[in-house]
Chains A and B, each alone.
Chain A
Amino acid sequence: MQYLVSVIDDKSNPGSTDRQPAISAFNERLIAEGYWVFAGGLASPDAATVIDNRGGEAVFSDGPFVESKEYLAGVWVWEAPDLDVALKLAAEASKVCDRKIEVRPFQ
């Protein structure tokens, strides 16, 4: 079972910025234990562009599709046997990243 694991940051109360070494170590462990599928940190939401080509021509708009105080700072994809395993890892991930984590199953 694969889970999308989102790291959520908060503009008004951002997590600390010195987490990279701890995150790298955590990633090593995820790989060693067979949970790791993909990981990536994201640039600021200000760098996003939204494209809408449902009409006659593609419309580009500057910025994220939804403006909010909380935003997606990075993602993982984990392979885990069930939600309990994913939640346990997510609890560690939240500490390691110093941010909130959302766990959402793929269909």
Chain B
Amino acid sequence: MNRVDVREAVTRAHHEEWARVVAALTRRFGDLGIAEEAAAEAFATAVERWPADGVPPNPGAWLTTTAGRKAIDRIRRENKRDDKQKEAQLLYDDDPPEPVDAIDDDRLRLIFTCCHPALAMQTRVALTLRMVAGLTVPEIARAFLVAESTMGQRITRAKAKIKAARIPYRVPSAEDLPARVSGVLAVLYLVFNEGYLATGPDTDPVRPGLTAEAIRLTRLIRSLMPGDGEVAGLLALMLLIEARRPARVSAGGELVTLDEQDRGAWDAALIAEGHRLVRERLAAAAAGVAPGRYQILAAINAVHTSARDIRDTDWSQVLALYDQLIRLDTSPIIALNRAIAVAELDGPDVALAAVDRLEDKLAGYHAYHATRADLLRRLGRSQQSRAAYDKAIELAGNTAETAYLTRRRDQLR
């Protein structure tokens, strides 16, 4: 086997096995830090040995066994004074038999622990990307534009808190599950959005690495919890947004809004997969299972991605879905997006009145001003539109959005 093949095998094993190895080790040794370090050592050993020894027939089992030995070595080194009995127990526990579903269960445990509500949101994001996705600390630091040392500290502190406060390593009880799953999904959606609408003046407007990572993690959770409607909903939502990525930023680095996108550039395979998931959830809704917010958001995106041309968009369907969503989520951002559908159905004047009512809550949000600017432009109120564009440009953090807003403002007469 040549070096390129081996490197690919290691990369693939990293993608497929990292979470499994960390999860199994965390359960066995009861310590995220030991699991993380031992997993990293095992992958480093694979990089060293596989070119000479060949890729093992079952890379996951090889990595788990190697990581287990590394963890025992580490514990021995760190606990030289520890009594012999404890050491004997560790030896005895080498290579315990594990049924396949127990391992899958471990990965779920790992996800729920990393996304525990007692951890700050940004900590949950960092920990999930490190422990479940297997990104390195420098990679995570780069993705969120913070210093490597800051990110390293954040993850170290989180591991210490999990240990000191005894955050349990388990799948929550059925009673707590919906709330905890929605906490996990919030983490994944945040990772996705940071990739999709990257903020920062000198950064790329889109970071496909983060959107891909978020989708990969959501697929993992979907495979572990195939019956959860909101997991399916979030996956569909991400796929339908990701499908439009090729058309969303112009060659010149400017945001292209939905009405101006080249729909031929959308990714048909992702749209088909997203639509399949939405149909699955619609069938469940028809059978009486009330959809959650991600499912409704996915359905809205399915309406948009079903239209071959912006003029074919079924706006009354979009509005009906927003009405349904607003009953679950009273966020003013949802009300703002609803107003965009209102503009298409009832005209920009009706929409503007609805948007203006949100001023108290959204005055600091660039999209509020961008929406107002667009509605005012359509109403021929150029001067007010210009002022709203100015405000939106001032608040927008994404370079492609700033470029788009600036052009629209400068086109006003």
Contacts and interface: CB of A to CB of B under 8 A. Distances in A.
A1 B166 contact: yes
Contact of B164 (A81, A84, A87, A107): A107
Nearest to A88: B176
B165 A84 contact: no
Nearest to B173: A84
Which of A81, A83, A104, A107 has the most C-beta atoms of chain B within 10 angstroms of its own C-beta? A83
Contacts of A82: 166-168
A64 interface: no
Interface in B94-142: 116-118
A14 interface: no
B172 interface: yes
B26 to A, nearest CB: 15
A35 B324 CA distance: 43
Contacts of A105: 164-166
Nearest to A80: B166
A15 to B, nearest CB: 23
A87 B165 CA distance: 11
Contacts of B167: 82-84
Interface string A53-87: 00000000000000000000000000001111001
A21 B176 CA distance: 29
B172 A83 contact: no
Nearest to A82: B168
A4 to B, nearest CB: 11
A87 B172 CA distance: 13
A70 to B, nearest CB: 19
Interface string B137-179: 0000000000000000000000000001111100010001000
A87 B166 contact: no
Contacts of A1: 166
A87 B117 CA distance: 10
Contacts of B172: 84
Interface in B186-214: none
A70 B60 CA distance: 52
B168 A87 contact: no
A87 B116 CA distance: 11
Contacts of A104: 165
Nearest to B162: A83
Contacts of B118: 83, 87
Nearest to A106: B164
Contacts of A87: 117-118
A82 B164 CA distance: 10
A84 B117 CA distance: 10
A83 B166 CA distance: 6
Interface string B273-290: 000000000000000000
A81 B116 CA distance: 16
A107 B161 CA distance: 11
Nearest to B117: A87
A66 B191 CA distance: 39
Contacts of B166: 1, 81-83, 105
10 contacts: A1-B166, A81-B166, A81-B168, A82-B166, A83-B165, A83-B167, A83-B168, A84-B176, A105-B164, A107-B164
Given A82-B167, A87-B117, A87-B118, 15 more contacts: A81-B166, A83-B116, A83-B118, A83-B165, A83-B166, A83-B167, A83-B168, A84-B167, A84-B168, A84-B172, A84-B176, A103-B165, A105-B164, A105-B166, A107-B164
Interface of A: 1, 81-84, 87, 103-105, 107
Closest 5 CB pairs of A and B: A82-B168, A105-B165, A82-B166, A83-B165, A83-B167
